[in-house]
A and B are shown apart, each in its own frame.
Chain A
């Protein structure tokens, strides 16, 4: 349960922070949420990763579908990952998830003695 709440909280608060703060606010949010709702390090990375992976995939997939994939295909070709919006969506989610995952994992290690 806490696992799910963590993921959802990270996604929601990162979204709100992203309206005003730079992109790396996802790391701060993932860190703070994991500090408030501590996880075992084994799951620590996963909550951060999934929280942002899901958020960024959701946001970019929504944008992409109303854009009919015009831009994501071009950017994919530009970055040499292929003219495919689906790949660009996954790349987006993965990069964001990676940053948030490590931030959340850091918090787990900080709170380790509580468990």
Chain B
């Protein structure tokens, strides 16, 4: 025996194993040995391209037999004998193909991202907790579980997910668990509630700008703020057709006596209260429906494309859910039972975001630094404390105490404030904190047979407010903007409100029957695209972050169309017409002073002049236009607004355009207050193009002048830019957030659906992703190219007797013993 060489080699072996058995660092966060082993690691996730998904499964939780027919796109057509089994299997299928996604999203919703991502996610987690995400989910859960039938559904769904989790061995885990070195967590009904709160935050928590507007009061008057962030844009085409009469509200709302001094003209700022993780302003959507009078077939056609963050896997999972009593097909959200957007044998429906502001801030006066009491209605009132424990991967646990007031949780307090801010605490009141079982709306919609069923289904839906568009086989079309919306006196909640007494409470909620809606209009179509739902005659004050242009474009096209086919609707969803530019282009050309342009700017002006107003992928004119507009927006607004702090919202392009039409000084904002000269609109438009030409020249040198290359559309993996190997970059699509085909950098139509309500339903759909979240599966991104090219798949509402159809590729049998 050679002792020394033996010891040395044993040591080397040991060190090698030790090194390969632990996470290596940021770039390689997983133990490499296990990850590379073909028997345990990533190779186990490399799915055979001709993998046989058929299986025979046994679960004692089931009451009867369930058959799942998987078609060539891996869409499951689920046939169950009862609801509990149906949702058990939906849960199982969600987990089978989207476990990591569901697990990550609900952990993040709860403010537990640091457990997976480490210290860099602490600020994110704190915000989730201070916003009261889990508090909100717990409140919903109480209602969800109160109704025995609803509880059965949610319990079944949860049990299905857990049945799948329990069947997993380490080598079977989705690859992200191997990469990030953690384990899936048991599902609970609370996690389903959390998923719905995540949607509420995404869609109804960035729709207010109370803190930014509050800061703006230090440099602008209330009247100026109202003028540059108008409630009703001049060019608005509302969801409810103009001319519709609204009932007058019963009570006149009482404005607090001290509103002028304590509220509207109060110049106290809140500079330190920047929200760190604002939901993306590009979240929006289109939906529309045309009546049989305007279609070739004589049956209504319903269309929907929700614009959300595009990701791999996609937020949507296609599924058909069938029992003897119900039969529905559409897009579901992994983490929630039901079909969210879809159709059944009788009706179809779709949703867009209402964009309503349902969240307000109240300034809280604590008695002292212990933050245990606050001044309310002339006395010190105790808070309810909630101690948040944030566990951190590779780090010490963080504790954060959140004070709950009558308004809601204190989102910001002296942990976040700098010494010059006057408000030392802000409580947040958010409709999502206290909602019922919003999922029940989808349970009922999945089973609705006609207009009255649909109205019954949606009327309890509270948050996030949605525009539910509807069509039925009997020929009805309708739209309702549905949600629980606060009733407010004019201007209430635009700024931070005094929180020392109850006089600034919301007076109540708008009665549900008065929510904006329209049914079978004579013109034969309805549409919504995140615009203000009603014109100025609606009797309530309804602030929101509305988006005007797409609605104008959709209305423009639909009003001219007749004999419409599903093919026409596909073309409209894929439409690139820039309706904003139609108004802006003549003004830009009128005001630009060509003699003051540099050589490059002159060249780009020619491109712009010849542009056909389409934001097509290959368009150079669109690139020039948008770069010019961005530069002009900064030039006009930033000099004044930036005095209120770095996070001011620049007014909408739409507002700039509308003001420019009326007043070439834009209420005086055109002048650059930082110079002694008085600038005119000619100066600003010209300067903006000269400045934009620098960006454009740089892009041209890099060969990125075409719009698609300039925006560089990318669908990221859920883990984002850190995992580019799993992303799909450089997709050849045009569009913009003010264009019907609303594709921005990594945002856009996350599901396109067209349903023609003929006797035999004719439906088409596509989403940019695939049914499987596994990057080692051919079903990971198989639909991306279809989506990019504006093509669709025909959606198949399978009948039980079609089980021998050639479209059925695999069968999963679920048995109870």
Contact = CB atoms under 8 A, between A and B. Distances in A.
A4 interface: no
A77 to B, nearest CB: 4
B1 A113 contact: yes
Contacts of B36: 23, 56, 91-92, 95-96
A36 to B, nearest CB: 16
Contacts of B39: 15, 18-19, 23, 59
A109 B1 contact: yes
Interface residues on B, range: 35 or more
B536 to A, nearest CB: 53
B725 to A, nearest CB: 4
Interface string A97-115: 0110011011001111100
A106 B49 contact: no
A111 B38 CA distance: 31
Contacts of B776: 67, 70-71, 74
A75 B725 contact: yes
A64 interface: yes
Given A78-B725, A99-B20, A109-B6, A67 B32 contact: no
Interface of A: 15, 18-19, 22-24, 26-27, 31, 41, 56, 59-60, 63-64, 66-68, 70-72, 74-80, 83, 91-92, 95-96, 98-99, 102-103, 105-106, 109-113
Contacts of A19: 39
Given A24-B17, A92-B43, A95-B32, A109 B5 contact: yes
B20 A63 contact: no
Contact of B28 (A74, A79, A83, A110): A79
B813 interface: no
A52 B253 CA distance: 79
B37 A18 contact: yes
Nearest to A99: B16
B28 to A, nearest CB: 7
Contacts of B16: 98-99, 102
A59 B34 CA distance: 14
A27 B13 contact: yes
A105 B49 contact: no
A67 B47 contact: yes
A35 to B, nearest CB: 12
Interface of B: 1-2, 5-6, 9-10, 12-13, 16-17, 20-21, 27-28, 32-34, 36-50, 175, 723-726, 775-778, 780
A106 B8 CA distance: 8
B1 A71 contact: no
A57 B2 CA distance: 32
Nearest to B40: A23
A60 B38 contact: yes
Contacts of B723: 78
Given A19-B39, A99-B33, 19 more contacts: A22-B34, A23-B37, A24-B21, A63-B43, A64-B46, A66-B48, A66-B50, A68-B778, A71-B42, A71-B47, A71-B776, A74-B775, A74-B776, A95-B36, A99-B13, A106-B6, A109-B1, A112-B1, A112-B2
A26 B48 CA distance: 25
Contacts of B9: 102, 105-106, 109
Nearest to A61: B38
Minimum-distance CB pairs A-B, first 5: A71-B776, A59-B38, A23-B37, A67-B46, A77-B725
B2 A71 contact: no
Contacts of A31: 13
A111 B1 contact: yes
B48 A24 contact: no
A109 B10 CA distance: 10
B42 A75 contact: yes
A91 to B, nearest CB: 7
Given A23-B37, A78-B725, A103 B775 contact: no
Contacts of A71: 42-43, 45-47, 175, 775-776
Nearest to A105: B9
13 contacts: A18-B37, A23-B33, A24-B20, A31-B13, A66-B49, A67-B46, A70-B778, A71-B43, A75-B42, A77-B725, A96-B37, A98-B16, A113-B1
Nearest to B38: A59
Given A67-B46, A110-B1, A112-B2, A92 B38 contact: yes
Contacts of B13: 27, 31, 99, 102-103, 106
Contact of A106 (B10, B34, B725): B10
Nearest to A91: B36
Given A18-B39, A102-B12, A68 B725 contact: no
A99 B37 CA distance: 12
A106 B21 CA distance: 20
Contacts of B780: 70
A9 B693 CA distance: 69
Nearest to A80: B27
A112 B9 CA distance: 13
Q: Give the interface centre of B17, B39, B41, B725 by most chain A CB atoms within 10 Å.
A: B39
B17 to A, nearest CB: 5
Most buried by A among B16, B37, B780: B37
Contacts of B38: 56, 59-60, 63, 92
A64 to B, nearest CB: 7
A71 B36 CA distance: 12
B42 A99 contact: no
B725 A95 contact: no
A23 B725 CA distance: 25
B7 to A, nearest CB: 9
A64 B42 CA distance: 11
Contacts of A18: 37, 39-40
Nearest to A74: B725
Contacts of A41: 2, 5
A72 B45 CA distance: 10
A18 B37 CA distance: 9
